């Protein structure tokens, strides 16, 4: 199904019972049939999120959104418990990537592509204020979305606690980290947390991490693109584990 653009198309999709994972509304949107969209979404238990216009435009191929789009997953999500269970069947230490608010579909697609290449067991994304498994993400992943399990959770800090209870060490990547990322022992069961574009790790998620590590920067640019930072750390795991 992909992306449904425009107020009336979204309403008709909801009435028809088409599977919609999330609805994005432009901030301060008013009038017309917005109340009808909100009512239908509430009845069907579909998350609604208010975002800046550019977030919608990035995912809007036809340019006819009227400030409203509905998103369908390009692939079915699994629960965090299911993701953890999948790792128990592998004869290797678990490795997860947890994404704290990635909004750019190209970044998520690139992260999935690298995750597949490096043997990551799964990726965790959050339900709100983040991109889901849209067709744009699937395209950017070059097919990797078909092979990397993805769990969607409502709260990333709670997800961090859950993986810690399953004996994983959680490392947040942040330019203000107190240690070099290469000094983290990634041979142990591990989860790597990557923050959102521009904002980085949220305060609560940073506090929940066992370690907060930085990627050294020698140039004038203060930080790396989120997907590049994720790739750097994933390949450090590969190096340490000798995969």
Position of tokens 């949107």? 29
CATH topology of domain 80-241: Alpha/beta knot (3.40.1280)
pLDDT of res. 1: 45
- Residues spanned by CATH 3.40.1280.10 within the chain? 80-241
Gap between the Cα atoms of 194 and 53, Å rounded: 24
Report, as an integer, the average pLDDT of 86-113: 93
- Residues for the chain: how many in total? 243
Ranges of CATH 3.30.1330.30 domains, the chain:
3-71
**DSSP-assigned letters across all residues of 220-242:** S-----HHHHHHHHHHHHHHHHT
Which residue blocks in the chain are alpha helix, DSSP H? 7-15, 34-44, 53-58, 80-88, 105-118, 135-140, 156-165, 203-208, 226-241
Mean pLDDT of 164-174: 96
Phi, psi (deg, nearest 5) at residue 176: -100, 15
User: What percentage of residues in the chain have a pLDDT greater than 70?
Assistant: 98
Predicted TM-score (pTM) of this structure: 0.76
Kindly report the average pLDDT of the chain as a whole number. 90
The answer, yes or no, to whether residue 228 has pLDDT greater than 90, is: yes
Helix (H, G, I), strand (E, B) or coil at 200: strand
In terms of average pLDDT, the best of 135-144, 170-179, 196-205 is 170-179
Closest CA to 149 of 235, 231, 83, 103: 83
Fold of 3-71: 60s Ribosomal Protein L30; Chain: A; (3.30.1330)
pLDDT of res. 176: 86
pLDDT at 221 over 80: no
- Rounded Cα gap, residues 119 and 78, in angstroms: 18
């Amino acid at each position: 199904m992909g992306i449904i653009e425009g107020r009336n198309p979204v309403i008709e999709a909801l009435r028809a019972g088409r599977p919609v994972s999330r609805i994005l509304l432009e901030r301060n949107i008013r009038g017309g049939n917005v109340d009808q969209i909100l009512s239908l979404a509430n009845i069907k238990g579909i998350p609604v999120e208010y975002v800046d216009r550019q977030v919608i435009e990035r995912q809007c191929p036809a340019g006819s959104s009227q400030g409203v789009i509905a998103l369908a997953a390009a692939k079915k999500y699994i629960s965090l418990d299911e993701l953890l269970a999948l790792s128990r069947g592998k004869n290797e230490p678990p490795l997860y990537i947890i994404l704290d608010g990635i909004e750019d579909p190209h970044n998520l697609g690139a992260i999935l592509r690298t995750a597949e290449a490096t043997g990551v067991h799964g990726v965790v994304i959050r339900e709100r204020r983040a991109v889901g498994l849209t067709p744009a993400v699937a395209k950017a992943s070059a097919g990797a979305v078909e092979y990397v399990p993805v769990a969607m959770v409502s709260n990333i800090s709670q997800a961090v606690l859950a993986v810690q209870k399953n004996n994983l060490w959680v490392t947040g990547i942040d330019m203000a980290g107190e240690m070099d990322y290469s000094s983290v022992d990634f041979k142990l069961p591990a989860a790597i947390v990557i923050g959102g574009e521009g904002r980085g790790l949220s305060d609560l998620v940073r506090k929940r991490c066992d370690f907060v590590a930085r990627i050294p920067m020698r140039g004038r640019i203060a930080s790396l693109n989120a997907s590049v930072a994720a790739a750097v750390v994933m390949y450090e795991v590969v190096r340490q584990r000798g995969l």
